[in-house]
Amino acid sequence: MTEFKFPVRVYIEDTDAGGIVFYLNYLKYMERARTELLRSLGFDRQYICNATSMFVVHSSNTKYLAPAQLDDELWVTARVLVVRCASILFEQVVMRDDSPLCWSEIKVAHVDKSDLKPVAMRDDMVSRLKQYYLPTSLHAD
């Protein structure tokens, strides 16, 4: 398996005055998809937000390709491009039907809560994430 899919519906709170999804909400949709991917692998909130470590977004590269609108039914995908001991690089796409609306590469770091320095993920998380590897990137141009 190389892709995780998460459904999203666009509500009025997600849109601007013109009924178009506000650009920042695409990143929120992607955050939900990454969280649900981890949950599907058996890593719930207690694991992800434990007493000593946490995940933080390190960087993102996002391209907005077409607008989503009020009441659209969307899919948000999450693919793992790279897993290192203390970081994960995801490729994510927000889609309506078969049309990509927003594409992003998002690097998430696993850090120690006390000093925010990188700390290794558990081996079981790294091995489970590998089932979502995508051999080649689907960069949107």
The catalytic residues are: 16
Burial 63-87 (b: 16+ CB within 10 A, else e): eeeebbebebebbbbbbbbebeebb
Contact 83, 128 (CB under 8 A): no
**Residue matched to tokens 């459904």:** 7
Which residue from 100, 99, 101, 103 is spatially nearest to 20, judged by alpha carbons?
101
Contact 76, 32 (CB under 8 A): yes
Please give the DSSP secondary-structure letter assigned to residue 38. Answer: H
